[in-house]
Amino acid sequence: MRFLVPAAWVALVATAALPPAAAWPTTGTRVATATPTSLTAPSAPAAAAAATTVTTAATTTAATTRTPGTGIDGPAGGNTRDTSRRGFVWPLAPRPAVLRQYEQPRTQWSSGHRGVDLSAAVGQVVVSAGDGVVSFSGVIAGRGVITVRHSGGLRTTYEPVDQRVASGTVVHRGGPIGTLSSAAGHCAPITCLHWGAIVGKHYRDPLSLLGLGRPILLPLG
């Protein structure tokens, strides 16, 4: 009998055992020795569409209808900084349709939707939403998962992904990290990319990285 594991558990397993982030490496270097799979970056028109998405989103936020419960699940202290619209892009180009919004869980273990589902085609290139280092690249519950560690303790997750770049690879905003897998996910029978964001032990709405919804606050320092 085949069991489907919720995306939240997959993301949690992929990030819970990670060691603390080391000092940031020089741009273009790799933290661990690995041979990433050669991927084809999105075409120039697609990349341009992705790059302009943030500006478009920022000007239409006021008119965007949001589902309840898309706020922050942790206390916001005074020593924090806002990550909205600061160097993040959609993980797919052109801008995808959002099939399911983030749903804030009441507690760490309660039900909810810890990420967003984005419409995508099998084989479509998945890109990193921001600059960072791949801290996990592997298969969990039959699905390929990638976790990218960004500055300030933020991590973004992507699944299901094939042709994944290796753990330790330095990635950049809009740079390819894999392709959408045909593995069955929680969007079946259609295909989608599940995109998540985590700060510490708390899940956040990844659309907030694009200036949609309430901002993600990271601790200073």
Instruction: Give the start-end residues of each E strand in the chain.
Output: 80-82, 98-100, 116-119, 125-127, 132-140, 143-149, 154-159, 161-162, 170-171, 176-180, 192-199, 202-204, 217-219
Q: What is the pTM (predicted TM-score) of this model? A: 0.62
Residue 45 pLDDT: 52
Which CATH number does the domain 82-221 belong to among 2.70.70.10, 3.30.450.70, 2.20.28.10, 3.40.190.10? 2.70.70.10
pLDDT 10s digit of each residue in the chain, 221 long? Answer: 444 445 544 454 455 444 444 444 444 445 444 444 456 555 555 544 444 443 333 333 333 333 333 333 333 333 434 444 569 999 999 999 999 899 876 666 656 567 999 999 999 999 999 999 999 999 999 999 999 999 999 999 999 999 999 999 999 999 999 999 998 777 888 999 999 999 988 889 999 999 986 555 555 55
Residue 104 pLDDT: 76
Q: Is there a contact between 50 and 129 (Cβ–Cβ < 8 Å)?
A: no
> Pairing between strand 132-140 and 98-100?
unpaired
User: Measuring CA to CA, how many Å separate 164 from each of 38, 82, 116, 142?
Assistant: 9, 30, 20, 14
Q: Structural domain boundaries of the chain? A: 82-221
Q: Give the residue among 118, 60, 68, 120 at the shortest CA–CA distance from 85.
A: 60
Residue 218 pLDDT: 52
